[in-house]
Structure 1
């Protein structure tokens, strides 16, 4: 081995720049160039040695002998001729058959980053130029093959250059253009919701199969070369979409070819790229192949080549080199191929491969927080689409209303595009952010419009004939008031709102007002709902609120008296009301029957009233520091347990990350915490019938936070609402970050986080980690403290604390990603992990309020549940109409407790038939037993189940 090692070192130290460059040899005038022949023999020696090492040194002696001769020639004459190389090859010819037994599947692709360091216009241009080059090369080289991922690239061609589609289709059917896509884009694997993964597969496979007239079952690959980590339940998710093979680059070390298994037991044949995914062809491209192949008895290797990240793909240079190198005698067989062909060639060894049964994280942890507006847009897009589909499904089932298939599909495609691994993680430029947020506004406009119209149609069918509204005034002015006004996050009398839900404009007046409240979750739960009353001319001090059973509801006025908005007056009520699972309740706002009078004595100031910095109900007591407004205590009154560490508590922190380490991708080392000026002013305490709250303004460095911490009557948690003007700018000195951290009094050292279609348990880590909506710190006896958010993904669980990352002003590649206004909510609470799941669902799916007309005839009751899903550890992902089928619905859910569970679905209509389906909504199991409007099914631990339900 001495001569071999010296030869390789000589090459690297002295002539690496020369030998590493292979000269094209198609031109006879270049055929005698010394650099080509030197590189040819050296690379054959290198590959032969790689094979020998993988086979315990069987050919070391021969390789060492040739290496010594080559080295001596290089030292004595300074170069190696063609004739000498041919002699050396002849000397090693006994190895040729062994070398040629290895087949390298050379897969050409173009990694096209969507809107990374450029805008949409350039993404379109890059895609078209790349595809044109590939079509030209496919026409010129009859053995050449090309693979392209991402359904969105084909939609670009269809929209901007449709004449290419037929050319591509021809090569697809020849097997030379591989559709290497099961997702709309190469999407982020940690922050995309589980339902988004299902829609990636559904819309991608349906779109490509229709566009190119192919069988959807031929699309078996999920190609994700550049994603920043991979969540634990992805094998289970992809198995439900007919995906068998997985290609990635980041998130794992030690294995290149392996079996990736989810907690459910579902697995994929996976390949982790050992080099990189955007390679050119050199003589040193294949020396790693024997090391990957030999342990598993396979002779097929994979090599991915082609220019990226800005498109381009392979060039004539690469093709010519491969064709020439395939003639080298002491070298593997090089084959223009596809990903599918490679995976099929090694699939026989799947059961002998190492098994990886965990998440493939964490890489580039800054991506869980950077550019928070994009992350807010993603969460709201996913939630509003799921909510709107459920509502439209309900009106379709109950009223025969048309279902907006095309509208939802278009909105989902925009959402899926924004989940590209450089967009959602926030590591793009300002063009990236602006385009994503523009598409977000389109998504919200479409989904909210569908939901509002369908809710109003449904409410018009509620029977309220026994309720009359007495008009005590000649002219009612409420109709039309409040257009564009929301209750949550109302700022001042101007009505400026960050709310992304439905406005509560008035439809009906009178002394009696009816409102229908819609719950978009699977939980039958007590909700605290703000209801806006416009131009109410009766006595506000005599208001009463009742549910559909005539029971009085607890409520409070949010302000004293009337508030004006463009000539109309409103009063906001906070109502405590139980709402059924995936259903609605109609409430009545009217005057009390017994007109009791308030005290005639006005409040005076004979004694001093002290500010109380405590929020308390029957379940918890939260105490705040009078100066910093940090939460110093969170006491569980039921268990009589203090949850926070004395002297540290929970609160906001201004963190300085090391700016040299930090950017959008990477959270830098914390170098300082709370070393900036901080003061809390304008502190107000509210104590009402349904909630207590503390509101204050915090001035922090150059920024301002308006904070309201609210404890509702029936909750075990405190909800924070934050509106901030964030003026912090990061640079290479430090990156400013805002987080909220809770220090734990007791902790087992274990955290549970929800992830796409499941949950994971993680140990403490001095890094940010991703979660879909909550993090739960196990404190004792299946009890703990949790944080949940409606728009944040980055959590940090340490040995004695749990933190939520809120904002971070990274300086590269976007120099000002966070400057401006932000609005977000999060919750800190105590309870079991089941309570954390429920709180996360309620926070992420707010209640819609629609005015209802008294004394109207209708076919619907004043309260009902459209669907009840019962089963321990069952999380419902979606309810939608089945694709292309009327009076048939899809219900999808997953199991998180790790137990085989019977799931009962009770529908609002009689069921004709039901059976399990995959993500493409094709039957995958036997018909289920139906009893009236109920169907039951058994779900395996940690699995996903999708049911097709057809009504009678």
Structure 2
């Protein structure tokens, strides 16, 4: 028998497509479809309202939009007698190009209970047979169901990233996007389904094998024989022996976990995510009825909370599966947040709010940080995770690196303080696998720790509204359980994998020290500046409010606003999601976020005003009357500590530290640099290397000297750039305020600070400390960090001179060596076309300062610049303070305990990467204990507090009885 592999494979594809797949569903009867388009703006309505609405007939082929609208379909008919399961098959007009992020539907029973979702690759709803829900089909075969159809547009069409207007609702005359393609009752053929999966397992395995192997030719012959068969039974029999061969003893082991990565907002608004989560969970619960081994991992307490609020009946089914261990709440965070820009306290609250919700709702505590899709990971994470009770960390995103290949998949990640946590990157390089032979082969060949481990994770299921795991994926997993030529696949819990890996590696796990820098998506540190400013200002206000209200509660017995603060925090945490804070969502998302941040600021300021006795304000955030410097002749600012001299073009040509006589400028300071910003692919996400090569000139429009400032104006087209320089008496810094009327498209704005410091590395503030990065490009990894994250400050130094650049709202920056020094360049604004073509259009104010001094001086200046501006009031006595005996440590946060006991919580940390000894000073009659980050497991502390490098300490102050 002559076998031509190419011919057999081509034949297989056509036979499956044209002969077998069409037999999976045999049409039995028509159904009647009627539609009710939700009135007004088309926003979602409760099922009870939809069930009672007036419906009009909808024919197959008719449109049911409009885009972003909601249309309810009533589907009714009579189920004919059949010896096979009967399914309702609906095609709402989907595209097969992008499984998530387009139209979706959710089937409801007539009493308003959600049952199962409809998606591009999950088009069926079972009416009879195993897994069919109760209460749908009557004794005479009649049924009626309602389908909430969401006309979400296909905003992203891989690989195109064209400018789109789909980020907002359309006008009333725009075209309808969706048509009803099919609506019918069908008999589902289990044997055909199994044959399709058998052919997938064997046919997909062939390209993964070598033609030198006997196994290859035996499978090829089995496939050919199956295609020759004249019945489904005979075709399956022809493949039986090939599928019965056991995996090799040394085969790689994969724990396969059902999953659906659902972005809390991205190419759809927050309101749509609520529906996506409910749809996905109905699919998972339906699949679990017939697949008892399926385990589904779901993160984000916020998403569970949405379902609990919107669909209590569905949530009770979820709660039951959690109790059984079938649905696993992973991550323990409120949302899958950005992992580099939120402040340290924000990351703690992501965890504390998430873990508390899981504990109170399910009696469950996750030991696994679950962040597969965030854009890089701060070096503070290992300590934060371990101090919050985690054992393991999961991500996958570094497989997207554009320059270097990360050297491990299972390793010990060491943070900036020295803490280590076992970390895993699934080697399939996806968190949305379909359990194909190609994915398994890629995972095995890609796995970089073969010498010490033979286990990995496989996360499978369509995300973002694609429906999660489906029956085809689970059937593939069953066939790859123990099959020669493939990895062994076992459906299981993620903890099962990590426990095995932990035992397997022991103390021999390779170590990666420092941050996990993603060599991609660098533009997310800047896109949508309003997200960055809203987050930074909310964090600062929350710090102030929680301290003030703690003081009032302890000293004046004023009630602490636990409920109001919890709601404020949940708002902030939600908007730290990794497509909102990074600025990579559609305009709808960011428009709503800007409005939310504005409301939140008013609410938090109201809580300040209600803090009790007037005249109280945070002791380290006093807003004092600023005594400013009058400019001298020839445009000079001089406060006796630093002197700035300006040239005729409004540039700072000299900046001298008068205490030492050192010139700090290595070139004109404060120069705005505009660059063409045209990424190759991901507009809002990426800043590409070529962008920073050639600045676009700005037109100098004049310099003006006022009573206390020097104001320089530039223009380009419709954009205006006004830079204001000022100095405060007694402060070692030059302050710069940039007011921009930003009307650019596909451009990027930086602010250049070339300073006369020679150093191989710069230090950047991160959560609870700082991180060093190279200023040179010696290696590919060094060069790849051409745009990085800094929180409030960057500092460079050489013996005898230290200079910091501080900011009030930016995160992206680059620091590179130049002739004679180092250029520090924060990135201010971008103007990407996709997914929001009007990103940041409008007026913005950003504040910076150049600071003369060491890191401690720079940090104090950053504290001051980022402090919320409150009415000037007298000081109050500190509630607690740190008295240092040696080293550097600070109190970062003061609040009342989450358990509402009235205990005071103090979060402190070492700031310089060394060691410190301090004493906590307070006039309160309290006992002091140290707890984990979630304020649990108190242990008594001695009078002197000892801090290791960048160590976080959470102290609990309990009133003596």
Shift of 1:886: 4.2
Q: Does residue 1:133 correspond to 2:283, yes or no?
A: yes
Shift of 1:518: 4.5
| Partner Cα distance (1:637, 1:19) in 2 | 81
| Partner Cα distance (1:134, 1:86) in 2 | 29
Q: Does residue 1:888 correspond to 2:903, yes or no?
A: yes
| Partner Cα distance (2:547, 2:509) in 1 | 42
1:259 corresponding residue in structure 2: 412
Shift of 1:138: 2.3
| Partner Cα distance (1:28, 1:159) in 2 | 37
| Partner Cα distance (1:32, 1:817) in 2 | 49
What pairs with 1:64-79 in structure 2 (closer than 5 Å)?
64-68=213-217
1:644 corresponding residue in structure 2: 665
Shift of 1:88: 5.1
TM-score (norm 2): 0.74
Shift of 1:195: 0.6
What pairs with 1:679-694 in structure 2 (closer than 5 Å)?
679-681=700-702, 683-686=704-707, 692-694=708-710
Match of 1:916 among 921, 925, 930: 930
In our comparison, the structure showing a higher alpha carbon Rg is 1
What pairs with 1:815-830 in structure 2 (closer than 5 Å)?
815-830=837-852
Match of 2:461 among 303, 306, 326: 306
What pairs with 1:197-596 in structure 2 (closer than 5 Å)?
197-212=347-362, 214-215=363-364, 218-251=365-398, 253-274=406-427, 275-288=429-442, 290=444, 292=447, 295=450, 298-326=453-481, 328=483, 331-348=486-503, 349-362=505-518, 363-454=520-611, 457-459=613-615, 518-521=618-621, 529-530=624-625
| Partner Cα distance (1:662, 1:365) in 2 | 10
Shift of 1:626: 2.2
Shift of 1:661: 5.7
Deviations 1:378-418 (A, max 9, x none): 10111110111011111112111111111111101110100
Q: Does residue 1:790 correspond to 2:811, yes or no?
A: no
| Partner Cα distance (1:771, 1:278) in 2 | 31
Pair 1:697–1:97, CA change in 2 (3 A): closer
2:883 corresponding residue in structure 1: 870
Pair 1:433–1:136, CA change in 2 (3 A): same
Q: Does residue 1:191 correspond to 2:191, yes or no?
A: no
1:758 corresponding residue in structure 2: 769
| Partner Cα distance (1:401, 1:344) in 2 | 48
Q: Which moved more, 1:841-850 or 1:740-749?
A: 841-850
Shift of 1:904: 1.9
Q: How many residues align?
A: 764
2:30 corresponding residue in structure 1: none
> 8 Å contact 1:653–1:673 — kept in the other structure?
no
Shift of 1:826: 1.0
Pair 1:43–1:118, CA change in 2 (3 A): closer
1:706 corresponding residue in structure 2: 722
Pair 1:842–1:341, CA change in 2 (3 A): same
Shift of 1:196: 0.5
Deviations 1:735-774 (A, max 9, x none): 2122110113332131100112221100125621101111
| Partner Cα distance (2:456, 2:695) in 1 | 53
Pairwise CA RMSD of aligned residues?
A: 3.4
> 8 Å contact 2:938–2:956 — kept in the other structure?
no
Shift of 1:77: 12
TM-score (norm 1): 0.74
Deviations 1:106-163 (A, max 9, x none): 1111111112011122111111111222222223332222111111101111222222
Specify which structure has the bigger relative contact order, considering alpha-carbon pairs within 8 angstroms and separated by 6 or more residues.
Answer: 1
1:589 corresponding residue in structure 2: none
SS at match of 1:308: coil
> 8 Å contact 1:258–1:350 — kept in the other structure?
no
Match of 1:747 among 743, 755, 758: 758
Pair 1:163–1:839, CA change in 2 (3 A): same
Q: Does residue 1:947 correspond to 2:947, yes or no?
A: no
Deviations 1:66-122 (A, max 9, x none): 3355568989999897666445567xx4x54626x7543211111111120111221
> 8 Å contact 2:528–2:583 — kept in the other structure?
yes
2:173 corresponding residue in structure 1: none
Match of 1:772 among 782, 787, 791: 791
Pair 1:208–1:304, CA change in 2 (3 A): same
| Partner Cα distance (1:713, 1:788) in 2 | 18
Q: Where do 5+ consecutive residues of structure 2 fail to align? A: 25-187, 230-234, 400-405, 776-782
SS at match of 2:540: helix
Shift of 1:327: 6.7
| Partner Cα distance (1:293, 1:810) in 2 | 36
Match of 1:162 among 284, 292, 312: 312
Pair 1:937–1:633, CA change in 2 (3 A): same
Pair 1:924–1:784, CA change in 2 (3 A): same
1:482 corresponding residue in structure 2: none
Deviations 1:670-719 (A, max 9, x none): 36755344123361232xxxxx4213443343222333211111111111
Deviations 1:899-925 (A, max 9, x none): 232122212x23321111011101253
| Partner Cα distance (2:759, 2:715) in 1 | 35
SS at match of 1:519: coil
| Partner Cα distance (2:288, 2:790) in 1 | 44
| Partner Cα distance (1:13, 1:830) in 2 | 70
| Partner Cα distance (1:14, 1:738) in 2 | 56
| Partner Cα distance (1:47, 1:352) in 2 | 31
2:686 corresponding residue in structure 1: 666
| Partner Cα distance (2:325, 2:473) in 1 | 20
1:570 corresponding residue in structure 2: none
2:330 corresponding residue in structure 1: 180
| Partner Cα distance (2:876, 2:237) in 1 | 91
> 8 Å contact 1:662–1:810 — kept in the other structure?
no
1:844 corresponding residue in structure 2: 866
Shift of 1:247: 1.1
Deviations 1:871-920 (A, max 9, x none): 4332432111112344421111222322232122212x233211110111
Shift of 1:46: 7.1
> 8 Å contact 1:20–1:282 — kept in the other structure?
no
Q: Which moved more, 1:330-339 or 1:406-415?
A: 330-339
